[in-house]
Amino acid sequence: MSALLRAIGAMTVNGIWRLGFMARFFYALLRYSGQSFRRLPLTIREIYFSGTLSLLIILVSGLFVGLVLGLQGYDILQRFGSSDALGIMVALSLLRELGPVVAGLLFASRAGSAVTAEIGLMKTTEQLQAMDMMAVNPIARVVAPRFWGGVISMPLLAAMFSAMGIFGGWLIGVLAIGVDDGAFWSQMRASVDFRYDIINGVIKSFVFGVAVSLIAVFEGYDCQPTAEGVSRAITRTVVSSALAILALDFVLTSFMFRGL
């Protein structure tokens, strides 16, 4: 019994410890970001790795999500005789929820895990310490570019996901099923608001980008410097990113769309 209590206590203290370290790490990251922006090619390289290389998975998944939304949406809406509203349903569900969330989850498993693995391996092979010895700040040189690369890529990826999904919904709805082309677009335009729906979606994806990138670089930086430690850090990145995205999504949604 006492061993159990002790284990729970140790887990709690350890968790709070890590949270505090994470906050301090985030502060240092922001502080040294200016230094790393002076060497912009570093960040551009990371945008290539986490953004450009994620393009394929994001576009293909977006297309398939849109195709599924088109089929399911049509099946539900035609029961109420309002299949013309298919465009609204596809666009709103993608812009508000699926775009940011699914793109965030894909981004966490595609790019976040890679960032954790890279930084974790650098730590394991003592490259970070070596940089420190050469008076190169590893946070400014290694961590900050990867963080900002992710933060910049994520909203763009989410926007592409949504655009591709709407295209997929159009393919199924208009080309395959035969919903009226004009009604599909005009109903969509009439009820999708730029500020309320699109900007809120972009804000969501930006917040997810910050959360996923921070978790990814932190888990890499904080990992046990062993092969097992790196693999555990990667697992933790994917698991806690997914949890963070879904929990933040609930919080942001309850702020943004409370039905007025």
Partner 1 sequence: MSRTTLDLWVGLFVALGFAALVFLAVKVGSYAGASGGTTYAVEAAFDNIGGLKARAPVKSAGVVVGRVGAIHFDSHSYRAIVRLDLDGRYEFPADTSAAILTSGLLGEQYIGLDPGADGEVLKDGSKLQITQSAVVLEKLIGQFMFNKAAETPPPAQ
Nearer CB in complex with partner 1: 115/234:
115
Two tokens, residue 52? 């450009």
Chain centre to alpha carbon of residue 39 = 25
Confirm if 146 and 50 have CB atoms less than 8 A apart: yes
Compose the 144-173 pattern: x for residues touching partner 1 by CB under 8 A, - for all others: ---------x-xxx-xx-xxx-x-------
Neighbours of 172 (CB within 10 A): 21
CA end-to-end span of the chain, whole Å?
Answer: 50
Q: Which of residues 168-197 bind partner 1 (CB under 8 A)?
A: 185, 188-190, 192-197
SS3 (DSSP) at 134: coil
Q: Which residues of 74-92 are buried (b: 16+ CB within 10 A; e: fewer)?
A: beebeeeeebbbbbbbbbb
Compose the 69-108 pattern: x for residues touching partner 1 by CB under 8 A, - for all others: -----------x-x--------x---x-------------
> What span, in angstroms and rounded, lies between the C-alpha atoms of 155 and 151?
8
> Does residue 52 bind partner 1 (CB under 8 A)?
yes
> What span, in angstroms and rounded, lies between the C-alpha atoms of 158 and 199?
12
Compose the 4-43 pattern: x for residues touching partner 1 by CB under 8 A, - for all others: -------------------------------------x--
> Does residue 61 bind partner 1 (CB under 8 A)?
no
Nearer CB in complex with partner 1: 120/201:
201
Note the residues at the interface with partner 1 (CB under 8 A): 41, 44-45, 47-48, 51-52, 55, 80, 82, 91, 95, 153, 155-157, 159-160, 162-164, 166, 185, 188-190, 192-198, 202, 259-260
